[in-house]
């Protein structure tokens, strides 16, 4: 497209294009208005539609701000709970809560150290007490530990105050996401696809029985995943 310069002013006849030829030429697809001696340039129709769609999406997110109830994200480690919790919090304006992080802060030690020094049963009790504390508080997006729903009491408490969303991923995907992590005590000495698949199958019935919504995460962006979640939980 040949380069051109815009000349504008209070002309009453719009904006012209200098093309090297005599006389002005009106630029197709553009509209101009004078308001209080200020010239406002209106973008081309197709671009304007894109902005309108983006603006409508933003306004829809604003309307969603302030969830009616908690959204609990559950699933095997590495399925994307933290990533999608952050995305959901941004899309809805709700608070993001990381259960594992809260436990680490409250206990003053890493999860792996809690498992080693105090045992898994102690850690699971900490999860239950934390879930109890969510009752009656402002709805939030809560990322749960991978084993939080293995305890029936936890599932009951979650369902009393929100929706449970199960995020899933293939064993190979999980492995690629967690293989370099040192904060996965249940995989210590067993960091391989075969063991991950075995443990996932063992937990699958508990996960699926607890879930109100199930969303696969493989090959999707966080925005796509969260859009699916809000189709059900954001209403």
Range in 41-50, 86-95, 172-181, 195-204 with the lowest mean pLDDT? 41-50
Secondary structure of 126-164 as H, E, C letters: HHHHHHHCCCCCCCEEEECCCCHHHCHHHHHHHHHHEEE
What residues form DSSP beta bridges with 41? 32
pLDDT of 81-131, one tens digit each? 999 999 999 999 999 999 999 999 999 999 989 999 999 999 999 999 999
pTM of the model as a whole: 0.68
pLDDT of 156-185, one tens digit each? 999 999 999 999 999 998 888 887 776 676
Domain edges within the chain: 5-58, 65-233
CATH entry, 65-233, from 3.40.50.300, 3.30.360.10, 3.40.50.11540, 3.20.20.70: 3.40.50.300
* H or E, element range at 20: none
Tokens of 82: 């933290």
- Whole-angstrom distance, CA of residue 143 vs CA of residue 158: 12
12 in helix, strand or coil? coil
Q: Once rounded to an integer, what is the mean pLDDT over residues 17-23?
A: 45
Tokens of 3: 């380069």
């Amino acid at each position: 497209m040949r380069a051109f310069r815009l000349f504008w002013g209070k002309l009453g006849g719009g904006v012209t294009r200098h093309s090297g030829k005599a006389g002005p030429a009106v630029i197709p697809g553009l509209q101009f208005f004078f308001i209080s001696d200020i010239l406002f340039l209106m973008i081309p129709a197709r671009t304007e539609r894109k902005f309108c769609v983006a603006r409508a999406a933003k306004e829809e997110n604003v309307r969603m701000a302030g969830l009616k109830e908690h959204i609990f994200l559950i699933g095997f480690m590495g399925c994307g709970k933290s990533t999608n919790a952050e995305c959901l919090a941004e899309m809805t304006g709700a608070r993001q809560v990381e259960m594992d992080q809260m436990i680490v802060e409250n206990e003053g030690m890493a999860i792996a150290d809690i498992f080693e020094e105090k045992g898994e049963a102690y850690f699971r009790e900490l999860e239950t007490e934390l879930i109890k504390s969510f009752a009656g508080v402002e709805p939030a997006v809560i990322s749960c530990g991978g084993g939080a729903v293995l305890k029936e009491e936890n599932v009951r408490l979650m369902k009393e105050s929100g929706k449970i969303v199960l995020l899933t991923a293939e064993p190979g995907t999980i492995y690629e996401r967690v293989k370099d992590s040192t904060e996965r005590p249940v995989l210590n000495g067993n960091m391989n696809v075969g063991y991950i698949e075995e443990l996932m199958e063992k937990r699958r019935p508990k996960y699926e029985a607890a879930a109100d919504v199930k969303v696969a995460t493989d090959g999707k962006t966080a925005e796509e995943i969260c859009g699916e979640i809000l189709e059900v939980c954001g209403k």
